[in-house]
Structure 1
């Protein structure tokens, strides 16, 4: 059974990704795949390494792109990636030495990866003025 929900992607990328309730995941339309491949190809190799790192931390390319595009803060992206864990903590309780440490480590790793992506994607030029004597 697959359920369709709108994602934030139509606004930035002009594509749609469906959610799924099965273990197989949603089917991704060919247009969506092409647009995302084209977008990711615009990054250099180092930035792609950072994107892969952040996506592995958050377990979501959608959250990673939302973070890179500044639609989400690190705290929001981490919270969204841990929805199931947060539910279980509310239901069964928090183990401070485990859950709190894991949360802070995930935030730090996600923030570091995001900063790395932005630094690898930035370009600057310096103009030197000629001084007339």
Structure 2
């Protein structure tokens, strides 16, 4: 079933209006389309095949993802706003791998990141904020522990909480079950939310991207309710974070669906 991308590209269009002065260029094509190449799918711009920065053909293993990429290019206006094109950036990075990373490299990074997860650090100065964090973040932490059958402590002050060896092993197996493109996207989502736990909850569909972003911004939103907002600034930041997480999840979902289809095909044969 094709994914409903309208909300995602509505966000991207809003962001692109505010990013037009950063890493932009004039639109040089009339329309974007998808093309099938053997078992993979690609994108064309006026019949010219889209390539990565390193000159590789930009191909993906899902028609849905290819159509989402084409829609991302079609959503650009007179000016191409590359900072808002998260799907294209993620696919380029997965293919070119400029950092020459392996799945084990990313997995190790994500496991180490857990000790600094946003939702493990409660306020020790504002009791009202701490109560709010315990209420909102506590439910997600409980889900995480039940989902992976682990026990994870929260931080005491600024001291990072310990991450048991058993937890590291469980998460390593889970992360390594994803292919490189999906793992790269998960990493992108984790860095956006500053939280492996929130991103895992999104991947498992326990949380929606908008919910995860609000939880990641819980302290900021609390302060904004107290001291007021700067018109548009905070909303724009929230939209940008949501677009990033949504793009990452689309990569993960299409990759997971593709791997599941491959496994089913093997079993049936």
| TM-score, normalised with respect to structure 1 | 0.85
Offset, 1:23: 2.1
Q: Give the equivalent residue in structure 1 for 2:205.
A: 70
Partner residue, 1:88: 223
Q: Distance in 1 between matches of 2:220 and 2:206?
A: 23
Specify the alignment match of 1:52 in structure 2.
187
The aligned residue for residue 239 of structure 2 is 104
**Alignment length, in residue pairs?**
125
Q: Deviations over 1:48-100 (max 9, x none)?
A: 10000000010000000000001001111011000111011111101122111
Distance 1:103 1:21 in 2: 28
Q: Which has the larger radius of gyration?
A: 2
Does residue 10 (structure 1) correspond to residue 140 (structure 2)? The answer is no
Unaligned runs of 5+ in 1: 128-133
Once the two structures are overlaid, the 10-residue window that deviates more, 116-125 or 32-41, is 116-125
Q: Provide structure 2 residue ranges, at least 5 long, that are not aligned to the other structure.
A: 1-120, 123-137
Does the 8 Å contact 1:44/1:120 carry over to 2?
yes
Please identify runs of 4+ aligned residues in structure 1 that moved more than 6 A: none
CA distances 1:2-40 after superposition (whole Å, capped 9, x unpaired) = 99x663123221112111132231101110110001110
More strand by share: 2
- Distance (whole Å) between structure 2 residues aligned to residue 62 and residue 75 of structure 1: 15
Partner Cα distance (1:118, 1:22) in 2: 36
Q: Using structure 2 for the length normalisation, give the TM-score.
A: 0.44
